[in-house]
Structure 1
Amino acid sequence: MNAEPAPTLSAALLATAQRWPDRAALICPRHRLTHADLAEAAGRLAGVYRRLGVGSGDRVACSVGNRCEYLVAMAAAWSLGAVHVAVDHRSTAPELAAVIAKTGAGTLIYEPGDDRTNPYAVPAAVRRRHPDVQVVVVTDHLAPAELVRWTVDDAGRPEPGDGPAPDDPAIVFISSGTTGTPKATVGFHGNLAGRWRALAGWLEFRPQDVHLAQLPLSHGFGMMMALSGLLAGGCLVLLDRFSPEAALQAVGTHGVTVLNGAPAHFTLLLDRLDPAVHQVDTLRFSVGTAGSFRPELVNEIWERLAVDLMVMYGSSEGIGVATKDAEDVLRGSVGRPEPGSVRVVDSRHEPLPTGTVGEIAFSRSTYPVRYYGEAPPPDPWYYSGDLGHLDEQGRLYIHGRQAHQIDRGGLKVDPVEVEQALLRCPDVADAAVFGRADPMVGETVCACVQPVTGRHPDLLVLRAELSQRLAPFKLPEELCLLDEIPRTAIGKVDLPRLREAARTPAQRLERR
């Protein structure tokens, strides 16, 4: 690591390229870039951005999957002092339009999806709502004249800008928040550069490391782990969609040394692991998040993968607690926060005694949570909406969500958003949505529907209809048909009664 830390993420990436220019930085199915290649490609794309009018402080929304182009697009925005807005690349046109409205993004870089008949339908729909938005599409094919086509291989002279200042915003993550209201969480260059380089040092990341980037780069944890590895001089092997077979193949093909994932990823990977077929002896370290790691799973990771496991708990807001202590991990703890940085509170936000389960709160002096376009809140504590407790030794344990929001594999789903989408379906008279505990992904989305008289809603049909308005991870995996949605006297969903009524779903999506 450099003795003098770079003050911004843009400067840190350039310093990495200067120190290890010829080391592999990014590997995806169509490209293999060194650190120097990454810097040059980002400089060329910065020229495209500049000609579109992008400058310091402007927001560039990025709807691209886990591929080399994502990191190039982000680095290009940073080199101009622009702000990278991270968007799930499976987002629908209404979701993208809402993000643009929320952040004021004037430019969208977009990767066409699987719709071969009309691959540009989403950016076209976004531009109908936001006519002034410039769209850059990642494609080798012809694109409509109003869109700007770009690929990593495009020729041109690098045109990076002067870069940002340490106090400038670097990245915005879109998070539903504990209330279900979309939040644009902002991270700043100096803070993130310092934190991510410090994390790389704590985890003893090396320039020789090869990291399997199978978690979405648009998600806080996926981005943090990717950049921490990259800034240490390492290489990212990018998987756009996780499958245990693809992950195991990538480990063997590229000599992956660092593996990240949720409990579901590790469970599926271990289920498919065949020592006679798969080579995993290059692995040396793993990082887990987005769920509780059972002692049985921890032991299996240690024994069959022969790696250490660090467990991390956090959110897009920038908070985080982690441990690589074996005893803490086996106990189910996520680590020991700095004294005074975390407390557990009751419904009035009063501290609870040690060992008592309540809402986890983080000190803003330690975790400076900020939302884009909003002034810092006066309350010195950030209330996470998660339930947990602290033990006598200061270890933190997570007990799930306090609010009704669904945590599906680390991705937050707002039940109200899904309910509103369901109510637009012709077979649905009333609807309520909740999360059902699931050992693989933490929680699954369960939809309870009161059918229109004479109609018979079908789960697959509803999912197809909802897919036009919701990202895939928000789609219900269970459907319960009820004569009436139980509600309180003031019209709110009575969740305890709803859960009882929906104990046995009428239809359940089968996992492959």
Structure 2
Amino acid sequence: MDADQPPTLADALAAAWRRRPGREALVCPDHRLTYGAMARAAHRLAGIYAWYGIAPGDRIVCAVGNRCEHLVAMAAAWSYGAVHVAADHRSTGSELTAIAAKTGAAALLYEPSGDRQNPFRTAAEVRRRVPGLRVVAVTEHLMPNDYLRWSLTGDGAPADLPSPGVGPAPADPAVVFISSGTTGTPKATVGFHGNLARRWPGLARWQGFGPEDVHLVQLPLSHGFGMMMALAGLLGGGRLVLLDHFSPESALRAVTDEGVTVLNGAPAHFTMLLDRLGERHRVDSVRLAVGTAGRFPPGLVNAVWERFGADLTIMYGSSEAVGVATSDPEDVLRGSVGRPEPGSVTIVGPDRAPLPVGEVGEVAFSRGVFPVRYWTEGDGAVAPRQPEPRPAEWYYSGDLGHLDEQGRLYIHGRIKHQIDRGGLKIDPTEVELALLRCPEVADAAVLGRPDPVVGETVCACVRPADGHVPTLAGVRAALAGVLAPFKLPEELCLLDEIPRTAIGKVDLPWLRTAVEAAPTERLVRG
């Protein structure tokens, strides 16, 4: 290991705190914290954990939104040697119960909900179902007597707190990422101190993150990509501006007011930002855009380059710590996510046999290059996932993609999202990208709808551009020269908004519900 490389995330954060204690580190609507203030708040919370009987190595489920307290809580867990379990703060009681039970959690750090009658309803439900679980409430207000209150002002905690003690070792787990469940049952992926203390500062160096950078943190800190980008920015010495809920206007206001230099998000985020960008917004401070969670069509790439005046990096991966990235303008403009190291990625068919170059199949990552570790349910131990069918040395992503002759990797969406129209497979993402090039379309999503004749039809869900009312005939005519006839939409549903997850992916369950409730124009077959 490099002599200058901190061995753990706790060490890396402590080094950042020492280097610039007076520089601003975290900004959210209620607080502005310097690196020094963040250190003091984290050490106090670690002392609360010790006073509360939480031991090093215990798991702490963090159900807190994108606010300063979330990052302080991460730092407190790591400096104490506890494991930070990242949970969406909007999770239901059943979801948080499953997470706490799966990880054998000792405590729940909980942000009260907006329910005025009972903001602690969810925490109470989890505690009933997980006996012995301690609850630390992130609030300055009244709460149940058997909860411990913690806030950045210091109110509500005991005055005399014990020392947190010895910190973690490089081989100790630092974080458990809870997957979104798009591939089935949510999984608990483990990130280790030593590995992350190398990877995240390495990302900061690769992207040139420094003390003058201001990072917009609009993707959830509970998600692997959002956490990684935030910590890389912090370890690079920059300032983080946190948004608890993304909206184009709030993001552009933050860019203007705070002088944001680094933006990140999915294609939908950048599309919405560009759609709302006006003369009242100043975006000349932006130097870098980091894209994830989908394909960036050439038109969007050029718009980011020209209207933001920013370089664009594309990153593809998952919380299993597998991934590929590129900043090469030619790769980005081609729609590639980068050039993986030879042998680290392969494309396989349904039988998981490798496919020839150029053919579309499932993207698989070498476990030798990208070790994947999961939290084992029950005894709190960490162990590899159970061996998969042939071959066991690959991690199968569930994503469709292909490699070209130069080794570039291209992503074509999720396998389960494919539309099967009479035996012909249709990639919804391909149709969505074509729709987004239509001037009448501001945003779009595509799904398959059951049909007694062909199995599934292509349903285009569209948010119209201002002043336009798209029709099915018009959309089909616009796409006729771009898509094969069997890929053309046979249904059109106009929506006020396309429902998306916090990281910008289409929320298919919500979309299906919205389509069922909205008027839909259908093609009349002759």
- Give the structure 2 partner of residue 186 of structure 1: 190
- How far off its partner does 1:354 sit? 0.4
1:39-438 alignment, distance < 5 Å: 39-154=39-154, 159-176=163-180, 179-274=183-278, 276-373=279-376, 375-377=383-385, 378=387, 379-404=392-417
**Residue 19 of structure 2 is aligned to residue 16 of structure 1:** no
- How far off its partner does 1:160 sit? 3.5
Cα distance change on mapping 1:23 and 1:384 into 2, 3 Å: same
Cα distance change on mapping 1:39 and 1:337 into 2, 3 Å: same
Instruction: Please give the per-residue CA displacement for 1:109-131, whole angstroms capped at 9, x wherever unaligned.
Output: 00012111110111011111112
Q: Secondary structure at the match of 1:309?
A: strand
Distance in 1, Cα, partners of 2:508 & 2:146: 31
Distance in 1, Cα, partners of 2:309 & 2:254: 17
- How far off its partner does 1:349 sit? 1.6
Cα distance change on mapping 1:7 and 1:170 into 2, 3 Å: same
Cα distance change on mapping 1:157 and 1:367 into 2, 3 Å: farther
Unmatched 5+ stretches in structure 2? 377-381, 420-426, 437-441, 451-505, 521-526
Look up the equivalent residue of 1:204 and give its one-letter code: G
Q: Secondary structure at the match of 1:48?
A: helix
Q: Check the 8 A contact 1:229/1:236 in 2, yes or no.
A: yes
- How far off its partner does 1:506 sit? 4.8
Instruction: Please give the per-residue CA displacement for 1:17-48, whole angstroms capped at 9, x wherever unaligned.
Output: 00111111100011111111111100000111
Q: Check the 8 A contact 1:24/1:34 in 2, yes or no.
A: yes
Distance in 1, Cα, partners of 2:340 & 2:225: 18
Distance in 1, Cα, partners of 2:443 & 2:176: 25
Distance in 2, Cα, partners of 1:443 & 1:50: 48
Distance in 2, Cα, partners of 1:31 & 1:395: 43
- Give the structure 2 partner of residue 477 of structure 1: 511
Cα distance change on mapping 1:235 and 1:62 into 2, 3 Å: same
- Give the structure 2 partner of residue 507 of structure 1: 518
Q: Check the 8 A contact 1:58/1:82 in 2, yes or no.
A: yes
Q: Check the 8 A contact 1:12/1:193 in 2, yes or no.
A: yes
Instruction: Please give the per-residue CA displacement for 1:298-335, whole angstroms capped at 9, x wherever unaligned.
Output: 10011100000001101111111000111100100000
Distance in 1, Cα, partners of 2:428 & 2:49: 41
Q: Check the 8 A contact 1:336/1:396 in 2, yes or no.
A: yes
Cα distance change on mapping 1:507 and 1:61 into 2, 3 Å: same
Instruction: Please give the per-residue CA displacement for 1:321-361, whole angstroms capped at 9, x wherever unaligned.
Output: 00011110010000000111111111222111100101101
Q: Secondary structure at the match of 1:32?
A: strand
- Give the structure 1 partner of residue 462 of structure 2: none
- How far off its partner does 1:508 sit? 7.0
Look up the equivalent residue of 1:186 and give its one-letter code: V
- How far off its partner does 1:6 sit? 0.5
Instruction: Please give the per-residue CA displacement for 1:42-62, whole angstroms capped at 9, x wherever unaligned.
Output: 000011111121122100000
Distance in 2, Cα, partners of 1:82 & 1:249: 36
Look up the equivalent residue of 2:512 and give its one-letter code: E
Distance in 2, Cα, partners of 1:441 & 1:10: 42
- How far off its partner does 1:403 sit? 2.9
- Give the structure 2 partner of residue 465 of structure 1: none
Q: Secondary structure at the match of 1:199?
A: helix
Look up the equivalent residue of 1:375 and give its one-letter code: A
Q: How many residues align?
A: 435
Cα distance change on mapping 1:508 and 1:307 into 2, 3 Å: farther
Look up the equivalent residue of 1:101 and give its one-letter code: A
The TM-score normalised by the length of structure 1 is: 0.80
Q: Secondary structure at the match of 1:361?
A: strand
Q: Secondary structure at the match of 1:478?
A: helix
- How far off its partner does 1:402 sit? 1.4
Q: Check the 8 A contact 2:413/2:428 in 1, yes or no.
A: no
Distance in 1, Cα, partners of 2:154 & 2:187: 35
My pick for the range that moved more, 278-287 or 172-181, is 172-181
The TM-score normalised by the length of structure 2 is: 0.78
RMSD: 2.5
Distance in 1, Cα, partners of 2:405 & 2:447: 35
Cα distance change on mapping 1:386 and 1:475 into 2, 3 Å: closer
- How far off its partner does 1:141 sit? 0.5
Cα distance change on mapping 1:130 and 1:435 into 2, 3 Å: farther
Cα distance change on mapping 1:258 and 1:344 into 2, 3 Å: same
Q: Check the 8 A contact 1:444/1:477 in 2, yes or no.
A: no
- How far off its partner does 1:473 sit? 5.5
Distance in 1, Cα, partners of 2:511 & 2:182: 22
Distance in 2, Cα, partners of 1:342 & 1:57: 34
- Give the structure 1 partner of residue 502 of structure 2: none
Cα distance change on mapping 1:130 and 1:8 into 2, 3 Å: same
Q: Secondary structure at the match of 2:123?
A: helix
- How far off its partner does 1:443 sit? 5.6
Cα distance change on mapping 1:210 and 1:179 into 2, 3 Å: closer
Q: Check the 8 A contact 1:244/1:272 in 2, yes or no.
A: yes
Q: Check the 8 A contact 1:138/1:150 in 2, yes or no.
A: yes
Q: Check the 8 A contact 1:446/1:477 in 2, yes or no.
A: no
Q: Secondary structure at the match of 1:479?
A: helix
- Give the structure 2 partner of residue 486 of structure 1: none
Distance in 2, Cα, partners of 1:334 & 1:140: 45
Distance in 2, Cα, partners of 1:506 & 1:479: 6
- Give the structure 2 partner of residue 483 of structure 1: none
Distance in 2, Cα, partners of 1:205 & 1:286: 12
Q: Check the 8 A contact 2:417/2:447 in 1, yes or no.
A: no
Distance in 1, Cα, partners of 2:25 & 2:447: 37
Look up the equivalent residue of 2:511 and give its one-letter code: E
1:444-455 alignment, distance < 5 Å: none
- How far off its partner does 1:475 sit? 5.2
Distance in 2, Cα, partners of 1:118 & 1:192: 38
Look up the equivalent residue of 1:297 and give its one-letter code: L
Q: Give the percent of matched residue pairs that are identical in Structure 1 and Structure 2.
A: 62
Distance in 1, Cα, partners of 2:361 & 2:110: 41
Q: Check the 8 A contact 2:314/2:327 in 1, yes or no.
A: yes
